[in-house]
Structure 1
C-alpha cells in the first residue's frame, strides 16, 4: 500500500498527531488544563496526589479515595534492594551530570527489579500499577542520587508525609516548613503535564512500540535532559545573578539581544500571552517574600519593557522557569535539583500519556524525505588491504 506523504512544519509545530483526554494548552488564551479542570486552579486547591489520581483515573477523588490513593503511593516509595545497593556507583558515575543522568539507569533497573513487562502484553490495570510504582519511585531515586553525590546517606521516605513534603524531607533530611512544602506542591501540580512537548511525545512514541513503562519514562527523561527543554529554571536564576539589580537590567538585556543570545526565563513556544504558570508562581513568590523576590519582580518589569522595544510585535513575558527558580530557591532546593524536581512531577504526566497511548495498538512511524546523493550508485570496489 502506498502512503501519501504530507509535508509538515519543522519540529511538527501545530501538527495534531492524536486525540487525548488528558488536557490541552491554549497558548493564545494563556490557559491550560488537566482533563476538564484548570491546572492553575487545581494547583491552588488540591493536593499533588489528588491531581495524580485525576490524571490516571479520570476523576478527582473524594476524601476516602484520596486517602487510599495517598497511602498506596506511600507504600511504593521505598527502593528495591538491588537498586539501593547500586545507587552509590550511579551517583559517582553521574559526576557533574547530576541526578537526572543517574535516574535514567536507576529507573530502568527499578523497572526490571519490579518485573515490569511490555505494556503491549499487559491489561489496563497492570499498566496502571507499573506506572504508579514508577512515579512513586522517582522522587526517592532523585533525592538519593543527589545526597550520595554530595557524600550524604540517602534519607528513607516517610509514609506519614504527603508527596511534596516527603520529597523535601528526603532531599534535606529535615521536615520542611508547611509553607515551603505547600509552595513546592503547587509548583509540582502546575508542571504535571503540558501538552505534547518533546519529552511527553517521546514517551508516547516508545509506548506505541509496546515497550515497558520504565523504557517509556527513561526515553522521556533523556529528552528532558536537553537544555532546550528542561534546563531553564536554574539558568533563569543565573540571569538574575548576572543582572544583580533592576537598574542594570536595561543595559544587560540590550547586550544579550544584540549578541543574539536568548534571555532565559522569558518567552515560550506556545504561549502568546502571559504564561499562567508564571503568574501563579509569581503569586507564591510574593507570599514568601524577600530580597530575591523584589529583585525578580523589578528585573521582570525592566526586561519585558526592553524586549518590547527591541522586538516589537512579539509577546515576550516570563515563562514558568523564571519564578519556578525563585520559588525553589526560597524553599531550600539546590539549583542542580531544579530540573530533577520538575521531572519528579512531570513523570506523572508522562505516565498518564503512556497509559493512554498503550490503549492504541498503532505504532507511531512517520516518514522522512531523503535528500542525499541520488541512488542507486555503483558500489566502489574495496581497496587493497594493507
Structure 2
C-alpha cells in the first residue's frame, strides 16, 4: 500500500514516534553505522577510525562510492581521476565573486565561526546548484547507477575548489587554482592558504576529513536521502544536505568549542567557568553527543593528533577536558558527558592554519562523500519517503466567512 493511500484509508492507524524520530529505523543501509553504546562507528565493514589511521582520503572516498577499498593501482587511478575534476567550469568561476559578495551582505552572518547564514557554506549551495546545471546533472531517477556515481564524483571533487575560492574572495584575495599533483587534503590546504602544507599538517587534516565522511542518519544525511527518494539530481540532493548542515544545531560546533577555550582563557578560570555553566544549565560546546554514551572515538583520535603537535593550546584543551568531566561527575552524578568530535577538531584545524570560519565548510567538504554514498544507495529504491503528520489545529471543516 502506498504512503498516500495508507494515510487516506479510514482504517489506517498512524504510528506515534519520538520527537525528532529518535531511535526510529527509517531505512536499511550498507554505507555504515554508529554504535553509540560501544563508542564505535564504521564505513562499510571497516572501522572508520582505523581507516583514518591507515588509508588516504581518496581510498576511503572510493570505498564509500564504489563499495570497496582499492588496491594501489586502482587507488592511484581514482586519485588521478578525481584530481582532474577539481577545476571549476568557467560558468561557475565567473559568478563566485558575486556569491562571495552576497555572503558579506548585511545580516548574512558572514564571518561567523558557525558557518551559518552566510560565508562559504551558504555560497556552496549556490555554486553546487550552478555546477549541476552546467554539467548537465539529470534526475537520479532517469539515469543508471554509473552515471549517478560519475555525477557524485564530479560534485565532490569540485567542492573544495568552491569553498576555498569563496573564502578567499570574501577576504579580498584571489582564488587559487587547484593542483593535480597534490592529494585531496594537501590541495585543499594549498588552495586555502596559498602554500603547499607540510606532511604533518596534511596528514592531520586528512585524518580529520576521513573521520567525518559519514556518521549515521544525521539530519543532513537524512535530508539528502529524502531528496534522492524523489528522484532529484545529485546537485539538488547535496544542496539540501548543505542547507541542513548550516543550522546551528547541526554544524558549526568546532569553532564554538574554541570560542569556549578563549572565553575560559587561563587554567585558574576553568573550574569557576565550567561550574557556572553547568549549574545554570548551559550547554558546554564540544561536549556530549546525541548518539554516543561513551567517549566519541573521533575525539579520541583527534586528541592524539593534537597531542602530537603539542604546545600550550593543546595542553590547555586537555586540562579543560579533564576538569569538565570531573566537575560533571561531581555535579551531575550518573550522567556521562565526554568530548565529541568538535572539541579537538577545532584545536587540530587551528593548529593546521585553518581560520574558524572555514571549520564547518571543511567538515562539509568531507561529508559530501558520505552524502553522495547515501544518495547513490537511496536512488536504487524507487519508494519516495513520505511520512504523515498528525493535524492538531482547529477542527475542520469550518464555514468560510463571506467576503465583504
Please give the TM-score of this superposition, normalised by the length of structure 1.
0.98
Alignment of 1:238 onto 2:259:
yes
Alignment of 1:300 onto 2:309:
no
More deviation, 307-316/51-60? 307-316
**Cα RMSD after superposing both structures:** 0.7
Which 5+ residue runs of structure 1 have no aligned equivalent? none
Q: Which residue in the other structure is 2:53 paired with?
A: 44
Residue deviations 1:28-65 (CA, integer Å, cap 9, x gap): 00000000000000000000000000001111000000
Matches within 5 A, 1:264-279: 264-279=285-300
Q: Which residue in the other structure is 2:163 paired with?
A: 142
Matches within 5 A, 1:6-155: 6-95=15-104, 96=110, 97-155=118-176
Q: Which residue in the other structure is 1:202 paired with?
A: 223
1:25 counterpart SS class: strand
Q: Which residue in the other structure is 1:356 paired with?
A: 377
State the shift of 1:247 in Å. Answer: 2.3
Q: Which residue in the other structure is 2:279 paired with?
A: 258
Which 5+ residue runs of structure 2 have no aligned equivalent? 105-109, 111-117
Distance in 2, matches of 1:79 and 1:350, equals 21
1:32 counterpart SS class: strand
2:188 to 145, 167, 171: 167
Contact 1:246/1:302 (8 A) holds in 2: no
Contact 1:245/1:299 (8 A) holds in 2: no
1:313 to 334, 344, 347: 334
Distance in 2, matches of 1:245 and 1:324, equals 20
Matches within 5 A, 1:185-200: 185-200=206-221
State the shift of 1:261 in Å. Answer: 1.4
1:24 counterpart SS class: strand
State the shift of 1:315 in Å. Answer: 1.2
1:156 counterpart SS class: coil
Residue deviations 1:94-140 (CA, integer Å, cap 9, x gap): 11121001110011001101000100001000000000000000000
How many residue pairs get matched? 383
State the shift of 1:27 in Å. Answer: 0.1
Distance in 2, matches of 1:119 and 1:287, equals 44
Distance in 2, matches of 1:276 and 1:237, equals 20
Residue deviations 1:129-155 (CA, integer Å, cap 9, x gap): 000000000000000000000011000
1:327 to 348, 351, 357: 348
Distance in 2, matches of 1:107 and 1:170, equals 18
State the shift of 1:304 in Å. Answer: 1.0
State the shift of 1:87 in Å. Answer: 0.2
Distance in 2, matches of 1:102 and 1:44, equals 32
State the shift of 1:244 in Å. Answer: 1.2
State the shift of 1:309 in Å. Answer: 1.7
1:4 to 13, 20, 34: 13
Distance in 2, matches of 1:366 and 1:259, equals 38
